[in-house]
Amino acid sequence: MPLGKHREGASRLGQGRWRLALPGSDVRDSRALYLVEDSSACLLASVRGRHLRVRLWGELTGPTVLNLGDCLVRAMAEGMERITLYLGERKSVPLEAVNLMESFGRQMMRGNASCQCSIRGTGAGIDALTLAFTTRR
The span from the CA of 14 to the CA of 19, in Å, is: 10
Mean pLDDT of 107-125: 84
Q: What percent of the chain is predicted at pLDDT more than 90?
A: 64
CA angle, corner 50, sides to 47 and 52, nearest 5?
40
Q: Is the pLDDT of residue 2 over 80?
A: no
Taking alpha carbons only, the member of 41, 98, 108, 38 closest to residue 72 is: 108
CA–CA separation, 116 and 82 (whole Å): 5
pLDDT the model gives residue 1: 44
Q: How confident is the model at residue 129 (pLDDT cuts 50, 70, 90)?
A: very high
The predicted model gives 91-118 an average pLDDT of 87
Mean pLDDT of 63-88: 93
What are the structural domains of the chain?
4-134 (3.30.750.24)
Rounded to two decimals, the pTM is 0.88
- DSSP 8-state assignment for residue 22: P
The helix, strand and coil proportions of the chain, stated in percent and rounded to the nearest 5, come to: 35, 35, 30
